[in-house]
Each structure stands twice: as structure tokens, then as C-alpha cells.
Structure 1
Amino acid sequence: MPNNQTRRLAHGAMMIALFTIFIAIAFYVPIISIVATLFAPLPMAWYSAKYDRNSSLLVALIGCITSFFIGGLLIIPFALIYSATGVVIGDALRLKRSKVFLLMSTGITALITFAIEYVIALKLFEIDIIKESMTIMRETYSKSIELSQSLNGQTPLDEQTVNRMFETMETMIPASITIAMFVTTFIIISINLPMLKRFGINVPKFRSFKNMRLPKAVLWYYLIILSINLFISPESGTALYVISLNISLILWLLLTLQGISLIHFILDAYGSPPFLKVLATLMAIPLYSFFVLIGILDLGFDIRSIVKGKIQK
């Protein structure tokens, strides 16, 4: 028992030091910061995968405190997000959860942590990160318009169109942040799980992308939102408009991924060369409406069984 306790304390101290180094590099070193950011949750995930939740939370808390002594208050938001995601990743691995559960729990944790930090910054320090970011984007776009006018004497877009574009972007901020958080956590998980496997941690695997199947409830959500937009047509700026627009954006992305997955399945079933999968994925950007339709058909009908039946014949 004493040996186990000593090992736990030593491992915890080592993970705290490693986490603090990663956070410091991510905060202070310009180019290497990208790599350090991706691996920052690794120490907490490693510790949390081996020891109980209470010990992991304590180590994460101490890691945030030591980070504070290096970078002050400005570094705390980064430390909190990466320590929280690391603990959740490790806890899911320790409990032998699936990779889908791992992705969902980590993404939700990162999203909640960001939301809490945003509210604290807004209420206590009167700093609106999102509003300031939009202001910077407007100023940057205004400068690009001035540059365009000075070069060729033409304005790319009129002022009314620009205002409408930025209003739409501001309305879609919740969905954009949600998607960004889940994409980031997916990248972090994909990079850190192989490392954790090298350290002797059992890690789950995702099913092949070509076999991805979203819950059929996604199709019902899409039909509900589509009905709201068609029959109610909420006015711009209303709460219903904001909710429907943000949910629509998330559903469009999910259904587009479902459509790409079906194309990959069909191409793989017929033994097509790999470059066609890459080409189909790239074509999903300009033809996203077509891929959304394919995703809807894939969820509504068992197209994959039809393809399998034709190939077997």
C-alpha cells in the first residue's frame, strides 16, 4: 500500500510538471505552441487513465495552480480547458468506454468549460471575447475593402450585404463554437490515443468512416427544423430564428458527413482507387447540398444493403 501511494504521488508530480511545461510552451513559444497545444491534455489523460477520479481531479487542479505561477491569470483559461479534457479522456479510458462516448464527453466538457470561462470573463472582467473577435473581423474586412478600392476602384460587396453577412455570422456563433470544439477534441483524441497506447493504456477504436451511421433521430431533427423554416419562417433576430439556424448548421454538417461516408462505402465496395475517395470528399465542399440529400437518403433507406446485394449478385 505505501508503495502504491508513493508511486501515485510520484506519477502525479511528474504529470503536473509535464502538463505545466506543455502549457508554458503553448502560451509563450510561437511555432512549437501548436504541437504543445495538441499534446497538453496528454499528462492528465495518462494519469486519469491509471488512477481514480478524485486523485485525477486533484492533480488537474494542482496543474492549473502551477500554470498560474508561470503565466498568471491569462494562462488559466488554457490550463482549465486542457486539464479538464485530459481528465475526461483518461477517465473514459479507465472505465473502458467506447470511442464515440469518449469524443462526446470530451467535446461537451470542452464546450462547457469554454462557456463558463466566457461568462466569468464577461461578468467579472467585462471582456466579451466573441464581440471583440467580430469587431476585429469587421475592421480587417474594412481594410481589405479599402485596399481593393485603391487597387482597382471597385468594392467587392456593398455595405448592406456586408452588414447582413456579419449579422448572420454573429447569429451562427453558438453552432460555430460547438463545431470548432468537437473538431478540436477529435483531433486531440486522434493524436493522443496512439501515445497513450504506447504507454500501456488500452484505447478503443473508431469504426471505419465508411461504416459511419448516425442515429435516425438526426433525420427527425432535420425534418422538424425544416418544417419550422418552411411553415413558420421565423423573423431574423428572434430567438426561434437563432435556434433554428444554429441547429440547421450542425445538422447540415452531420448529414454531409453521412453522405460522404456513403460515397466512401460505395467506392470501397466496388474496389475504386483511393484518390476517388479524396476527390469525393473535396467535392462535398461546393456540393454540400447534394451530399446532405445523400445523407438523408442513407439514414431513411438501407442503401448499403442494396449496394451489398448488387455486388454479391
Structure 2
Amino acid sequence: MKGIRYITEGAALLALFVALLLFSLYIPVVGTIFQLALAVPFIVYTVRHGWKKAILFLVVGLLLTLLFGNVLTLPFTFVFGIGGLAIGMLYRQKQKRYTILLGGTVAFSLGLLLLFVGANVIFNVNLMEQINNALDQSINQSIEMMKSLGQDVKESQIDQMRDAFDMFKNLLPLLIVIGGVILAFFSQLIATPILKRTGYEVQAFPPFREFKLPKSILWYYLIALILSFPSFNIEQGTFMYVAIINIVMGLQMLVVLQGISFIFYFSHQKGYAKAIPIVVTILALIIPIILQIVRILGIIDLGFNLRKQLDTKK
């Protein structure tokens, strides 16, 4: 009976995966939403039947991708399959939700990185070169549009655009990790109600106000920030330069999250309306000066444990 169950459940989940894949491939715009759910069949199957059977499930999923899609869609199935297996195993081990999010982020990020490498090695497609061409084309189109509107395009403006696009290319590793976070989060978000309906007990995410980074992050941030100073004269485009700016930007985002979490904590402790920290967060994402204040708040909270001081005053 167990053998029949894992085969029938596998067939049903594979049919769901194929449907999601076809929707994501052939329905514009809305297909992106279906794409976010591609890892869910792998998550559910891994939770219910373990990683050994899940690997076979992934192999069959790759074969079905060839049958219903094309060779170019194989890497996407691989990325979502690996991410789904990792998240499913962490669910099966009853890990905490943030641990599952971290594990899923690592798996998806590695999958996306392999996607870049595999595209170059297997399909002889240099994605970095394609990105460079697309960015150059975007710059040229922007210049032509400005000229058509009668604007005088200065060399300094062109240099600023090129600097911005160069920064985008240098931050590609960080963007891959952010992509991994997004895929892992939405995969969990969609899989959770399905797992609950199958009788699996899923832990809830702790309130965001309880999110707190280890204090060591502050030291890593300060060291990386110091290394990024012009006085160290690290040549642009080198591995060291790319590594440092990605670490600095990544840690800055974490410090901002710490600051936003403190705002939610402070608001909760004071009994303020729930809308207040949400509005402050939105304003921080829009207005740079508020974002800077939130970042400083995150640094102070990390260094001096403001939450503990708030608790002692109660």
C-alpha cells in the first residue's frame, strides 16, 4: 500500500508541476505567479516521502520538462527542484521557519549560480555577456529617448548611467542571493497551507519584531565598510572589489532589517497602532534620509541592545 501511495501521490504532484510549468511558460505576466509555486510539488513530496524518493521525483520532473517544455527549461526545473528538496527536508526535520528560509535561500542561490555556469558550459550561452549587451542597449535607448525629447545629453549623464549599470553588474552575486531569498520565502508561503491540509504540523513564522541578528554581524559590517574606503585603493572590477561591495551592500540590508524589526518591537511595546511601523517601513523604502535613520537605528540596536533597555524600563 505504501508503494502505491508514493507512486500515486508522485503522479498527482508531477501533474501539478507540469501544469504550473506550462502556465509559467505560456501565460505572460500571470505566469510569473505560477513560477513562484514551481518548488511546491517538490516540497510536499519530500516532506511526505523523504529525500531518496524525492531525488527520483526530481529526475522524472526533468524528463517531463523535456517532454512538455524544451531543453532551455531544464535548468529552471533543476533550480526549483533543488530548492524544493532542501526546504522539504528541513520541514521534515521540523526545523524553525527562519532556518528553513535560510536553507531554502542557500539552495536556490546555489541553483541560480549553477544556472549561470550551466548556461555557459552546456548551452554555450554567456549570460554575463548577454547582460552586458542588454545594459549597453538600454543606455543607448535612454540616450536616444532623451535626444528625441529635445534634452541636451551631457557626457557626465552618460557616465552616471554607465556607473550605475556597472554597479548593477558588480552586485550580481548579491542579486542572486536576493533572488534566492524571494524564491525560498514564496515557496514556503505557498507550501504551508497545502502541508497543513495534508495533516503536517507547520510552525508559524515568529513575529517580525522578534527578528534579531547576532551581534557579530556589526563587526563584519564595520570591517567590510572600512575595507571599502578609497584609501585602500582596491582596483574596480577585481574579485576583491566585487566581494567587498557585495558584502557591504548585503550587510547594509541586514542592518536595515534589524532597524525595521526594532521599530516594530518598539511600537508593540508602546502599544501603538500596527499601521505605524508599516507606514515608517514604506517611507524608509521611498525616502533615502529615513532609510539612513533606520540603518543607524539597526546599528545602535545591534551594538547596545536597545530592546533589553526597553524591557528594563517597563
Q: Sort the TM-score into its range (normalised by shorter chain).
A: over 0.9
Please say if residues 213 and 258 of structure 1, whose CA atoms lie closer than 8 Å, have aligned partners that are also in contact.
yes
Are residues 1:246 and 2:246 paired?
Answer: yes
* Root mean square deviation of aligned Cα: 1.8
Please say if residues 25 and 36 of structure 1, whose CA atoms lie closer than 8 Å, have aligned partners that are also in contact.
yes
* Structure 2 gap ranges (5+): none
Q: Which has the higher mean CA deviation after the structures are superposed, 203-212 or 25-34?
A: 25-34
Determine the structure 1 residue equivalent to 2:36.
38
What amino acid maps onto 2:2 in structure 1? N
Compute the TM-score of the two structures, normalised by the length of structure 2. Answer: 0.92
Q: Deviations over 1:214-268 (max 9, x none)?
A: 1122112112112322462423223221111010010010000000111111112
Please say if residues 17 and 63 of structure 1, whose CA atoms lie closer than 8 Å, have aligned partners that are also in contact.
no
Q: Which has the higher mean CA deviation after the structures are superposed, 83-92 or 49-58?
A: 83-92
Determine the structure 2 residue equivalent to 1:194.
193
Shift of 1:281: 0.3
What amino acid maps onto 2:101 in structure 1? L
Q: How does 1:258-277 map to 2 (within 5 A)?
A: 258-277=258-277
Match of 1:124 among 114, 119, 122: 122
Please say if residues 14 and 41 of structure 2, whose CA atoms lie closer than 8 Å, have aligned partners that are also in contact.
yes
Match of 1:308 among 298, 303, 311: 311
Match of 2:291 among 288, 292, 311: 288
Change (3 A) 1:21 1:305: same
Shift of 1:289: 2.4
Are residues 1:298 and 2:301 paired?
Answer: yes
CA distance in 1, matches of 2:210, 2:202: 20
- Partner SS, residue 227 of structure 2: helix
Change (3 A) 1:191 1:6: closer
Q: Which has the higher mean CA deviation after the structures are superposed, 270-279 or 41-50?
A: 270-279
Determine the structure 2 residue equivalent to 1:94.
92
Determine the structure 2 residue equivalent to 1:114.
112
- Partner SS, residue 213 of structure 1: coil
Shift of 1:106: 1.0
- Partner SS, residue 39 of structure 1: coil
Q: Which has the higher mean CA deviation after the structures are superposed, 252-261 or 216-225?
A: 216-225
CA distance in 2, matches of 1:162, 1:35: 31
Please say if residues 106 and 185 of structure 1, whose CA atoms lie closer than 8 Å, have aligned partners that are also in contact.
yes
CA distance in 2, matches of 1:130, 1:204: 40
Q: Deviations over 1:59-98 (max 9, x none)?
A: 1110111111111101111211112222222211111111
CA distance in 2, matches of 1:35, 1:238: 37
Compute the TM-score of the two structures, normalised by the length of structure 1. Answer: 0.92
CA distance in 2, matches of 1:246, 1:92: 28
Q: Deviations over 1:249-303 (max 9, x none)?
A: 1001000000011111111211212221122102222232222211111111121
CA distance in 2, matches of 1:167, 1:36: 32
What amino acid maps onto 2:159 in structure 1? Q
Please say if residues 40 and 190 of structure 2, whose CA atoms lie closer than 8 Å, have aligned partners that are also in contact.
no
Match of 2:148 among 150, 160, 166: 150
Determine the structure 2 residue equivalent to 1:214.
213
CA distance in 2, matches of 1:119, 1:301: 43
Q: Deviations over 1:163-216 (max 9, x none)?
A: 222222211111122122212321221232122212222212221111111112
- Partner SS, residue 28 of structure 2: coil
Shift of 1:119: 1.0
What amino acid maps onto 2:281 in structure 1? T
Q: Which has the higher mean CA deviation after the structures are superposed, 107-116 or 126-135?
A: 126-135
Determine the structure 2 residue equivalent to 1:237.
237
CA distance in 2, matches of 1:16, 1:303: 49
What amino acid maps onto 2:267 in structure 1? L
* Structure 1 gap ranges (5+): none
Please say if residues 179 and 250 of structure 1, whose CA atoms lie closer than 8 Å, have aligned partners that are also in contact.
no
Identity of aligned residues (%): 27
